Structure 1
Amino acid sequence: MKRYAPLDKALFVENRKRLSGLLHSCSLVVLNSNDIMPTNADGTMPFLQNSDLFYLSGIDQEESILLMFPDFPNEEFREILFLRETNEEIAIWEGHKYTKEEAREVSGIQTVMWLTQFERVFASLMHEARRVYLNTNEYLRAVPKVETCDARFVKWCQEYYPLHKYDRLAPHMHKLRAVKSAEEIKVMQEACNITEKGFRRVLSFVKPGVMEYEIEAEYLHEFVRNRSRGFAYEPIVASGANACVLHYIANSMPCQSGDLLLMDVGAEYANYNADMTRTIPVSGKFTSRQREVYNAVLRVQREAMKLLRPGNVIREYQREVEKLMESELIGLGLLDRQDVKNQNPKQPLLKKYFMHGTSHHLGLDVHDVGNVYRNFEPGMVFTVEPGIYIREEGIGIRLENNVVIREDGIEDLMSNIPIEAEEIEDLMNQ
């Protein structure tokens, strides 16, 4: 039994149906689970399932393979799930593994076999297949230095079956996963709700002298007790000048009176992720300058949400957000209007204070897959995270919510998480 509540298998049945509609005729699809990654000695990292395999099957276990052959003559072999066969020794040392019946119930796939049968069955399907779709990590900023199970399989498959026509599965998965179903959004809302509980817990905990790692521990406690595996990503708990380091993850410093505390954290739930950033005053009250900058970031965030509409595209959206940010930075006295007018458009002055993108896809991966040149569509889920970082003043402020694009606007999955400066101060001083 998994920690999270079971997801409706209809989600995975529909996902496979949608993928089948994108394939060439007489095609075979192969997806492998992620490896359990080693550390040192006999240590391992916690298992994290391959996002594409989970998306198509709901199977959350290592050493699993999914085959799809939508127009194979024998209906029983159009969807096959291969699992590691358990035994008494595995059960004693590692715990329960899926039975065939459980895997059918989770995935909606009726043909479930043990891995020992894979090569024989795969050979029989390959004899009928004209095209084979193999999976790879093609995320735009991925740096794949570690060979994955999918990558090893690509080598093996092309060595033993060199005359088949091979194709990339990733573009199809990026297209499908970019638009979330109602069931997926429901699960992501739960991840956001758990994140809210962590944030509210922290608001009553933070005070001068507490350590950043103590705050991290408060979040983790609340996340895990609400059926989350924990953090969706390495948490950023950055006080004072640390908030101006975009990927600060040491979380090792004390929170000082008068400083701001930037927290970029999110809970995972059922393999889906939340991604929240809030910035609060350590002493429970913003200074006038801190509030001035804070409200500028909040205004940009709210205007950015209005730009996340069907038909827009990331590049144009980012340009529009940067124009909003330029205006706010001029108002804060950080940029000069005339200097902005005369700036090199390839090196905009605002990058000194706002140097990152405003939004990214969110879902089974925190930086979820999706084509950056594709127009926004209803059902896409994005973060909205403008920030202003003034290193010379030791001020770093970022605000981040997760929103769903709808036909007539956005649905804010974090609308219940406090964000107004006054509300944050009130909650911290109760």
Structure 2
Amino acid sequence: MKYHPIDNALYIKNRKNFMAQMQPKSLAVFNSNDQYPISADSTMPFQQHRDILFLSGVDQEESILLLFPEAADAKNREVLFLKETNDHIAVWEGEKLTKDRALVVSGIKTVYWLSEFEKVFFELMTQADTIYFNTNEHYRQSVETETREDRFIKHTKEKFPAHSWAKSNPILQRLRSVKDAIEIDLLQTACNITEKGFRRILNFVKPGVWEYEIEAEFMHEFLRNRSKGFAYTPIVASGNNANVLHYIENNQQCKKGDLILLDVGAEYANYSSDMTRTIPVDGKFTKRQREVYNAVLHVKNEATKMLVPGAFWKEYHVEVGKLMTSELLKLKLIDKADVKNENPDWPAYKKYFMHGTSHHMGLDTHDYGILWEPMKANMVFTVEPGIYIPEEGFGIRLEDDVVIQKKGAPFNLMGNIPIEADEIEALMHSKS
């Protein structure tokens, strides 16, 4: 792994919190992700399933975590199953976790090789009444591929039809949404790497540069700072491309007078950052661009203040809509008649700001969190309003990642990343 070792106290705590919410006489199983094929002998780079990572720190394929708080033998209350390593594997693929190393990483003392799973699992299932399956119930999920978890669930239901089953996801949604101090430090590191990338491109962008060249500059800076790269597919959208919300082609030349919307974020230790900045190609905002830019910045700053313990995601977005409506009126993009006659299900402001303002952040860019439950301290959210004006040839979005505090305004993990229009211009004109 490129990242520095993580204190296993995080994973010990996470397992303890999960097991405290399990039903009596139950066990839970968590599987690594598959390595997905491309064609021939090519595979996509491995990405660990975030749930097994959250509970164990194991960042390796073909791994299984089993939790059984009431196992008859205390050694089987936390168990890891790993792909057996050997000298041949070490030569061809690099070192894999040994049993001793797995203990250091996870804090789990009982480690078996994967070949022993069926035998040990059968023995432990004879002591349990219920098994927790790790289903994907994220509100944005749209998975068509059968996963390793899917195959495990199907096989287990066939082999143990008399057992009850429960879902681990509701427990994990709540646990993962509230961040430990170690996790917040990891998120801060990811944001700091993103800052370095952004400052790099401020000294790089000029008329004639291509969007993919900017993407490459970010990637260079991310990799040299121990990141695997982008936390999600980057958006480098100049001119009217910014009005395509998920524009990812990044293949156009940037022209004088245009703006570039940059929605990029580095990952670090599998934790995501998520930043958006909008900058002028030639280092100078026009009067109109600056008006819209400052309107978006105002909405972002005011919306951030609303992210406090006890707030509800749905009501928060209603209030942000009111802020945006006020700004769009000032910009003369909508008028009072538009507001008076608006469809409550699609308010007038949605013509120019059609997406949500905030989502949970963490191990996933769109992280776990139950949206109908109140916000809590140490939840991490994005704040990302935007105004998109195709008829004027530009779109502006600004986005930071913030940590909800017990009292007061959220802490901005991206507080050191330039965002004021004057600072952006000054930095772009200070190129060495």
Match of 2:329 in 1: 330
Return the letter of the residue paired with 1:40.
S
Match of 2:263 in 1: 264
Q: Is the 8 A contact 2:400 2:414 kept in 1?
A: yes
Match of 1:286 in 2: 285
Return the letter of the residue paired with 2:262.
M
In 2: Cα distance, 1:266 partner to 1:229 partner: 11
Between the two proteins, the alignment pairs up a number of residues equal to 429
Q: In the TM superposition, what is the alpha-carbon distance from 1:224 to its structure 2 partner?
A: 0.3
Return the letter of the residue paired with 1:399.
L
In 2: Cα distance, 1:28 partner to 1:157 partner: 13
Match of 1:345 in 2: 344
Structure 2 SS opposite 1:363 = coil
Return the letter of the residue paired with 2:428.
M
Return the letter of the residue paired with 1:124.
E
How far does the alpha carbon of each residue in 1:126-151 deviate from its partner, in whole angstroms, 9 at most, with x for none?
Answer: 00001100101111121110000001
Matches within 5 A, 1:165-184: 165-184=164-183
Match of 1:221 in 2: 220
How far does the alpha carbon of each residue in 1:143-192 deviate from its partner, in whole angstroms, 9 at most, with x for none?
Answer: 11000000100000001001000011111110100100101000000000
Task: Report whether the alignment pairs 1:89 with 2:117.
Answer: no
Matches within 5 A, 1:369-384: 369-384=368-383
Match of 2:394 in 1: 395
Match of 2:208 in 1: 209
Return the letter of the residue paired with 1:418.
P
Sequence identity (%):
60
In 2: Cα distance, 1:31 partner to 1:78 partner: 14
Match of 1:103 in 2: 102
Match of 1:253 in 2: 252
Match of 1:234 in 2: 233
Return the letter of the residue paired with 1:199.
F
Moved more, 332-341 or 119-128: 332-341
In 1: Cα distance, 2:84 partner to 2:307 partner: 47
Structure 2 SS opposite 1:285 = coil
How far does the alpha carbon of each residue in 1:174-215 deviate from its partner, in whole angstroms, 9 at most, with x for none?
Answer: 010010010100000000000000000000000000000000
Structure 2 SS opposite 1:82 = strand
Q: In the TM superposition, what is the alpha-carbon distance from 1:350 to its structure 2 partner?
A: 1.1
Q: Is the 8 A contact 2:72 2:127 kept in 1?
A: no
In 2: Cα distance, 1:360 partner to 1:333 partner: 29
In 2: Cα distance, 1:213 partner to 1:287 partner: 24
Task: Report whether the alignment pairs 1:139 with 2:138.
Answer: yes
Match of 1:321 in 2: 320
Q: In the TM superposition, what is the alpha-carbon distance from 1:94 to its structure 2 partner?
A: 1.0
Structure 2 SS opposite 1:66 = strand
Q: In the TM superposition, what is the alpha-carbon distance from 1:404 to its structure 2 partner?
A: 0.3
Return the letter of the residue paired with 2:233.
E
Return the letter of the residue paired with 1:421.
A
In 2: Cα distance, 1:314 partner to 1:347 partner: 17
Q: In the TM superposition, what is the alpha-carbon distance from 1:343 to its structure 2 partner?
A: 1.6
Moved more, 333-342 or 99-108: 333-342
Q: Is the 8 A contact 2:205 2:214 kept in 1?
A: yes
In 1: Cα distance, 2:63 partner to 2:362 partner: 22
Structure 1 SS opposite 2:79 = strand
Match of 1:57 in 2: 56
Structure 2 SS opposite 1:364 = coil
Return the letter of the residue paired with 1:411.
F
Task: Identify unmatched segments of 5+ residues in structure 2.
Answer: none
Return the letter of the residue paired with 1:379.
N
Q: In the TM superposition, what is the alpha-carbon distance from 1:395 to its structure 2 partner?
A: 1.4
Structure 2 SS opposite 1:397 = strand
Q: Is the 8 A contact 2:309 2:376 kept in 1?
A: yes
Structure 2 SS opposite 1:402 = strand
Q: Is the 8 A contact 2:317 2:357 kept in 1?
A: yes
Return the letter of the residue paired with 1:427.
L
Structure 2 SS opposite 1:213 = helix
Match of 1:198 in 2: 197
Match of 1:424 in 2: 424
Q: In the TM superposition, what is the alpha-carbon distance from 1:73 to its structure 2 partner?
A: 2.0
In 1: Cα distance, 2:60 partner to 2:109 partner: 17
Match of 1:36 in 2: 35
Moved more, 66-75 or 211-220: 66-75
In 2: Cα distance, 1:60 partner to 1:338 partner: 56
TM-score under structure 2 length normalisation: 0.99
How far does the alpha carbon of each residue in 1:84-137 deviate from its partner, in whole angstroms, 9 at most, with x for none?
Answer: 001222222211101110000000000011001100000110000011001011
In 1: Cα distance, 2:427 partner to 2:131 partner: 56
Match of 2:410 in 1: 410
In 2: Cα distance, 1:347 partner to 1:124 partner: 56
Match of 1:8 in 2: 7
Return the letter of the residue paired with 1:372.
L
How far does the alpha carbon of each residue in 1:32-51 deviate from its partner, in whole angstroms, 9 at most, with x for none?
Answer: 00000111111100000000
In 2: Cα distance, 1:40 partner to 1:332 partner: 51
Return the letter of the residue paired with 1:66.
L
In 1: Cα distance, 2:83 partner to 2:343 partner: 58
In 2: Cα distance, 1:60 partner to 1:167 partner: 25
Q: Is the 8 A contact 2:133 2:167 kept in 1?
A: yes
In 2: Cα distance, 1:144 partner to 1:390 partner: 33
Match of 1:25 in 2: 24
Match of 2:187 in 1: 188
In 1: Cα distance, 2:267 partner to 2:388 partner: 27
Q: In the TM superposition, what is the alpha-carbon distance from 1:359 to its structure 2 partner?
A: 0.2
Return the letter of the residue paired with 1:347.
W
In 1: Cα distance, 2:171 partner to 2:231 partner: 25
In 1: Cα distance, 2:136 partner to 2:280 partner: 40
Structure 2 SS opposite 1:406 = coil
Return the letter of the residue paired with 1:125.
L
